[in-house]
Structure 1
Amino acid sequence: MKKLKFTIEDKEIAELLGRQNFSTRESAIFELLKNCYDAGSKNCDIYIESNCIKIIDSGDGMNQDDIESNWMHVGKSNKGYKNEQHNRVLAGSKGVGRFALARLGDSVKVISKKEKEIAVIWETDWLTSGVKETSVDFPKGTIIEISDLRDSWRWKNVETLISFISRAYKGSDMKIHVHFEGETYNINPIFEGIKMGVNYVSKITMRYESEKMRLSVTIESDEFRSEVKEIIKPISERHYENKFDMINEIKKDEVEELEQHLKELGDFSAELYFYLGRSGIRMEKFMYKHNEIDKVDTGVILYRNAFSISSLDGKKDWLDIGSRARLSPAAASHPTGSWRVRQNQLFGFVMIDKNKNPMLKDLANRQGLEEDDYYQLFKSIIGFGISRFERYRQSIIRKIQKYNQIKNKQKKNNKKLTHFLNKPTIVTKMSEKELVSLVDEIKGIQREAKEQSKAREESSKQHKYDVRILNVLATQGLRASAIAHELHNKRNSLETGYNNIIEALKEYGFWEELNSDEFTRVAYKNVPQTLERLEEINIKLIAFLDVILSKIEKNKFSEKIESIEKSIEKIVETWIQQYTWLNFKLNIRNDMIGEYEITNDVLEVIFDNLILNSIQHNEMKDKLIIKIDVEIKDRTICLEYGDNGIGLSPKYKNEPKRILEVHETSRDDGHGLGMWIVNNTLHMYEGEVTEINGNKGFNMHFNLKG
């Protein structure tokens, strides 16, 4: 067979790999800067004129052989991992970056010289190309001249270019200068010289170790004033540090072969900065330290060594921070909902490496990454790190909020204002000191009114968030109850069907034969065994119907509890009917007969979710013991719930109260709402979870007002 090679017209390849490959003029110039960097240049000068762009570097340069063997060889790259001479990780690798020239103009000259060698000039109009020797007045380097420009360049375009390069280049080895209309603009990397308290209030540092599959998260904060230290103990207002095993944190159904992917992903790091915006009236309420912050105008940038991935240069929300916030709109002060950082509150960078992260692959056009399983896993790990910051910050805000609520209850009445309102004419007899005091009281009321308005707005958002989740559950419950009503009409058949079939088989003379060895040898043909299993299902189905129909009875939401003991015993009795392997041990002390304000549905919601949680995590146990301890103290119901099961998943051992957050679950098919509902219900009745321990079985201490 005769061997053939593709022949591609210069004009067409310039169109495909130039104009269509590089979406913007900035990305095309940026690609050419990488060549300067890879050549070891200490400086890169970009001259933009009316119909000409010049890019000049002092790098290693090229000779005629380099032009013919590499430059003119499409898809070939002579660049490995590192330029050892200049100690730089090389940016190029695909052998198509030179076609960025075609995106910028129709005519190109490349004048290049290697040290102690003859200079060469390469020219093209994208129809024909040629190279010849020339003479130059510089020892080494390259000058690129692009004419017949495709775009008009005005100051606005140059400004956009400067902004783009400052975001896209993070190195310090090569200085970049843009020259336009007689002015020189030195480009500094956007994160150079930023400071806490000036440009941001908190810094989140992440380091992922692929071999250990572990993410380290460190938070340094200067958001709050020093007086919060005593309020938020034992939390530190300035520092947080922890390590997390990602094999426990990423749902296994999200990524096939999770362990392999986590190890192959490679080490990477991230440095993100949190900025709150104008604090306004919230500044005093939440003890914020800074009101005005000079935020860096970018999002999160992904760098591979010294250069960003073009489409992930901080303008695109590639981490889906906005989507996360929309799915969970709870304010940071929400007692049970999960606050999510907003897109405009976070900026920073993520660092990957050409060699360490080979599974994060560039697209052919170098304008992004392939969005495969490795990319999604990469994003999930960063998202988890962000969620640790969100949880840390929210824990501080919640404690401050609780402190404010207690403080507000202790506030004294505005005596002077009350006196003035009862007798306005008294103002004429007030001393200057008394008038100042009256004005202060009025200003205090105005501030409080603004805070209450803000609190109502936040409360409205919180309730909308709660209602969205609970509406989903309620809708599913109504669907289940509709089916339950339909099946309830056939209850008689469910209860008597098994016995009726057996009696009929006996009457027809088939029963003994069906129980013989011959007819019971094959499991799926074993009629008596199949009937027994169906009877077990029927019994569970009848119990399910009774539970579903009883749970939605109207009186459950209006009848107050007369006895804690009787109410819990009734809940326990229902569960024992459905699960014979459950054993309950109850200890109720100081039961106040007939003196409770809460209704039956409250305890049912709490204990049904706790018991269901115990069952779902211990389905393999033959016997599960559940202990419920209740003591009434000064109108507060103090409760302890525990089981002898497997305890908490490893990922919750160090932070057990994480299980109370919405959508937190260790089960691949779990929704993570059960414990959130328990916690939400407790907060509705001025209660809280005081302690959770999951080392030997599961144990939880909590209380509520009743």
Structure 2
Amino acid sequence: MSFRVNARAVLELGSELISSDIIAFYELIKNAFDAGSKTGATISFNVVLRRNAYLRLRSKASGNLAVAGKEPKPGKAALAGMLADLKVAVSKALDPAAGKKSVDAFNSIVDKATSLREFLAALDEAYAAGNTIEVADTGSGMSLDELVENFLTIGTPSRKREVEKALGAGGTSPYLGEKGIGRLSSMRLGNRLTVVTARSNDRRFNVLEVDWNKFADIEARVEDIDVEAKKGEIKSDAAFSGTTLVIGDLTEDWTEKRVEEMARLEFARLTDPFVDVRKRKRIALVWNGTRVTIPVMNRLLLENAHAKFSGKFSGGVLSVHMEAVRLGYPHPKEIDDVSRSSQELADLLQDASHELPASALQTLGPFDFEAYWYNRRLLGGIDQLGNQKEVRDLQRNWSGIMLFRDDFRVFPYGNEEDDWLGLDRKALSRPGYVLNKAQFVGHVRIARAKNPKLVDQTNREGLRRTDEERALIGILQHVIRDMLWDFFRETDRKYKKAPIELDDLKADIDTLETRAKNALTKVRQLIPKEERESFDALQHAFNEFRDLSSRAQMKIEQVEEDSRQMIDMAGVGLMVESVAHELARAAESALGVLERLHGQEFPTEVRSQLETLRAEMKTVTKRLRVLDELSVSGRQRSETFDLVDLVQEVLDGHAAKFRRHAIKPSFKHPKHPVRVRLVKGMVVQIVQNLVINSMYWMETRAKRQTDYAPRLNITLEEDPPTLTISDNGPGIAPENIERVFRPFWSLKERGKRRGLGLFVARDHAKSLGATLTLSDKPDRETGRLHEFILELSESAVVK
């Protein structure tokens, strides 16, 4: 036994797979190019009577027929009058622009009716035959046998075999389509289909007629529907080859205005508009014999963008070029070139809800992209393009970042309602530059041969959900959300001197305060009663921090009211957030140790962690006091301590984590104390941040490499006191030697990305009269940077 298929399943299949009119045309157009059409595809709308007018006339005729069947029945004269009125109404509703021949043909069918019942049948027939959409090409055409074997076989495997064979041999895909279901597109547009086709060696055309209405019979099976291919007229040009699909009994109301709108919004973006117009695939639209213009993107629009980015992903490496032309304040043209290794991308694209296999970056395949950004507030008139309104309308028409495969659109990416890169959601969550989809005009280009894992869903509504699809989207999101955002902020910092958005700051401080408060509450519960007195000092420091933080935020709010002081005080906000970050991290770090050792006697590492926390919170509080105009003491006090002991305390505080992750720390230092006079809490925070940073990246590498042995090396030298901290983690790309110290710049996975640790460490070093740098000497094995150097001032040494 075998499955049997009801005929109506074909209709269901077509309606599910072909979800919109443009998708239907897209499939039919792809078939034309797959056939090797030398003139592309021509779509002709031949509409004598609009569908809405047809339905009104039919409704009126049905009403008259119902009246004719009632008692008492109208006389012959009355019936003849009804019929004559209907014929006149039909004649008036016909569009003369369709041509005299088409109008006369329609009228001749209707005029033959001698009764109301005949009129209904004639109207149906005239509408089905007189209103058509023709899709024509001059491709290879089909022989009679091919028409039967290929066109009548849904899901035909011929193209699929050839595509897989070509890709297997490392070549390019010979076809745009391969599923064998594109022919079902015709039923979306109309209930009748006539295929007229011929090979160059055929003497006659080969003809196939399909009435999709027959498939609606719920009792019929596919094999019961009789569809016969036959020979047609003799070709007027013996060498002609090609295919014309004539779709009749149209299912929608087509008007010239609707076709023009579709040309502007849909057909203009069906093939890649960024490609030179002379190299684009030819698609022609015709309405009742008159050519409909399909707009071409004007390069002037792109040349007047306020910023742009372009790049490629190849061999696992992402390369991006960015330009800022006009961000709304005076600045020169800024350019930045950034790259990300496959290792960095693998870390960046991790998500707590779904771990992305590193292999996805290899199987994804190469692609390139380009996009232009517009600040619509600054968008004005452009010579040879139009006034402000016209330019803004033009930018809106082309807005969105579209996806193209082999120069043909992948739907729905780039549509007005589609936010495939999640730009709008992100833009709404933070102030500042608007990086939503409406601000961009751009495209991403993939290829069937180079990106075989990026496959359309069967209904053409996007790519199938695969690891490669997630990697593609994740990379593009990183380019826009992180790279471009950071580029704009860095340009701001250099020329506008506004390093932080204050509204964004307040929300971050609240979040960090809550984290610190929760951590400290749990710490108190875990600490034995005999240690509570010592902890109360920490709790007091936190309460003082909250009070000072509130005052700082009040000062920021006051500054916001006076725009002239905004730039001067923006740095205040950044400082508040950075110290809040320090407090939250320190408290959570101590909590982690306590929770692991709950119920045990306190070993040295716990006491070291608490001492570190105490010193850090002391510095946090002091740093905040400088913002408080009412504070008696706004200065941080230095104290004398041994650098060797300080570093060892930090290492002792992380001993449990070192053991858990098999990290082998090495600390080389002079045998005698190295005494300095500095703000101890600041030095602790610098060392803490560098050590924690190393641990994170070593853990990240360990997840990917089973035979990896993490090592942390710390060296303390004298004259002047210099602390060198290095690890054998993934390292840092040389081009990022200074970027790592920028506020909010980070390559960590989502959810762990703050980008304040190294910024805070360098800021502390500067306050201490020291320098914190990333050594520019690349590692021999990785070619990347692994070593941070903290050089203290000679004047800090206590003899």
Does residue 297 in structure 1 map to residue 392 in structure 2? no
Q: Counterpart in 1 of 2:545?
A: none
User: Which amino acid in structure 1 is aligned with residue 403 of structure 2?
Assistant: L
Q: Which among 315, 321, 324 is matched to residue 218 of structure 1?
A: 321
Q: Which of 237, 245, 262 matches 2:341?
A: 245
Distance 1:606 1:280 in 2: 45
2:274 paired with 1:176 = no
**CA pair 579-222 structure 1, distance change in 2 beyond 3 A:** closer
Alpha-carbon distance between aligned partners in 2 of 1:204 and 1:280, rounded to the nearest angstrom: 18
Q: Which residue of 2 aligns with 1:71?
A: 151
Equivalent residue in structure 1 for 2:137, among 57, 60, 71: 57
Cα deviation digits, residues 10-60 of structure 1 (max 9, x gap) = 33212x222222221121112111111112221322222234222222222
1-structure distance, mates of 2:207, 2:770: 77
Structure 1 stretch 552-561 or stretch 197-206: which is displaced more? 552-561
SS of match in other structure, 2:371 = strand
Could you say which residue in structure 1 is the equivalent of 2:101?
A: none
Match of 2:637 in 1: 563
From 355, 362, 379, give the equivalent of 1:263: 362
Task: Indicate how the Cα distance of structure 1 residues 623 and 224 shifts in structure 2: closer, same or farther if over 3 A, else same.
Answer: closer
Q: Does 1:208 align with 2:313?
A: yes
The residue type equivalent to 1:480 in the other structure is A
Equivalent residue runs for 1:55-454 within 5 Å: 55-79=135-159, 80-81=162-163, 89-117=174-202, 118-126=204-212, 127=214, 128=225, 129-135=227-233, 136-137=235-236, 139-162=240-263, 163-170=265-272, 172=279, 174-180=281-287, 183-188=290-295, 190-191=296-297, 193-195=298-300, 198-209=303-314, 212-219=315-322, 222-223=325-326, 228-229=331-332, 237=333, 239-251=335-347, 253-254=350-351, 258-279=357-378, 295=395, 297-315=398-416, 316-327=418-429, 329=430, 331=432, 341-386=435-480, 387-402=482-497
8 Å contact kept, 1:61–1:140: yes
Distance 1:342 1:483 in 2: 41
Q: Which amino acid aligns with 1:107?
A: R
Amino acid at match of 1:398: R
Residue 36 of structure 1 aligns to a residue whose secondary structure is helix
Cα pair 1:114 1:140 within 8 Å, conserved:
yes
Q: Could you say which residue in structure 1 is the equivalent of 2:31?
A: 35
DSSP-derived class of the 1:187 partner: coil
Which of 2, 6, 23 is the matching residue for 2:3? Answer: 6
Is the contact between residue 109 and residue 122 of structure 1 (CA under 8 Å) also seen in structure 2? yes
Give the aligned partner of residue 757 of structure 2. Answer: 675
- Establish whether residue 540 from structure 1 lines up as the match of residue 605 from structure 2: yes
- Greater percentage in helix: 2
CA drift of 1:491 comes to: 4.3
Q: 1:602 touches 1:681 (CA, 8 Å); kept in 2?
A: no
> Structure 1 17/246 Cα, relative in aligned 2: closer, same or farther at 3 Å?
same
Report the Cα distance in structure 2 between the residues aligned to 1:545 and 1:644, rounded to whole angstroms.
23
Distance 1:301 1:185, change over 3 A: same
More displaced, 315-324 or 350-359?
315-324
Distance 2:374 2:668 in 1: 52
Deviation at 1:226, TM superposition (A): 13
**C-alpha separation in 2, matches of 1:618 and 1:18:** 53
Alignment RMSD (CA, Å)? 4.6
Pairs within 5 Å for 1:453-472: 462-472=501-511
Instruction: Assess if the C-alpha contact under 8 Å between 2:135 and 2:245 holds in 1.
Output: yes
- What do residues 527-549 of structure 1 show as CA deviations (whole Å, max 9, x unaligned)? xxxx9998676443455456557
Change (3 A) 1:347 1:600: farther
Give 2:455's aligned amino acid.
K
Q: 1:9 corresponds to which letter in structure 2?
A: N
Match for 2:525: what amino acid? E
Bigger proportion of residues as strand: 1
C-alpha separation in 2, matches of 1:610 and 1:394 = 24
Counterpart of 1:697 (choices 787, 795, 798) is 787
Q: Residues of 1 paired with 2:502 and 2:331: CA distance?
A: 27
d(CA) in 1 for partners of 2:770 and 2:133? Answer: 66
Closer, same or farther: CA 641–466 of 1 in aligned 2, 3 Å = farther
Cα distance, 1:68 vs. partner? 1.0
CA pair 89-324 structure 1, distance change in 2 beyond 3 A:
farther
Give 3-state SS (helix, strand or coil) of 1:146's partner: strand
Q: Could you report, residue by residue, the CA deviation over 1:549-582 in whole angstroms, capped at 9, with x for unpaired residues?
A: 7766897554544533459979768636635876
2:8, 2:722 → 1: CA distance?
76
How high is the sequence identity, in percent, across the aligned residues? Answer: 20
Distance 1:538 1:223 in 2: 59
Offset of residue 626 of structure 1: 5.8
Structure 1 pair 183/622, CA: closer, same or farther in 2 (3 Å)?
A: closer
Deviations 1:589-625 (A, max 9, x none): 8x7xxxxxxx998777666534543565679547634
After superposition, the C-alpha distances for 1:431-451 in whole angstroms (9 at most, x for unaligned) are xxxxxxxxxxxxxxxxxxxxx
3-state DSSP of counterpart to 1:354: coil
**Residue 679 of structure 1 contacts residue 689 of structure 1 at CA under 8 Å; is this kept in 2?**
no
Deviations 1:205-227 (A, max 9, x none): 22222xx3122223456448999
Contact 1:249 1:651 (C-alpha < 8 Å) held by counterparts: no
The whole-number CA distance in structure 1 between the counterparts of 2:408 and 2:600 is 67
Do the aligned partners of residues 6 and 600 (structure 1) sit closer, same or farther apart at CA in structure 2, a change above 3 Å counting?
same
**Equivalents in 2 of 1:628, 1:536: separation in Å?**
37
* Distance in 1 of aligned mates of 2:376 and 2:718: 47
Contact 2:312–2:367 under 8 Å retained in 1: yes
Superposition deviation, residue 250 in structure 1: 2.1
Q: Answer whether contact 1:644 1:698 (CA < 8 A) is retained.
A: yes
Q: Against the structure 1 CA distance between its residues 354 and 628, is the aligned structure 2 distance closer, same or farther, given a 3 Å change threshold? A: farther
Per the normalisation by structure 1, the TM-score is 0.67
Q: Cα distance 1:109–1:280, how it changes in 2: closer, same or farther (>3 A)?
A: closer
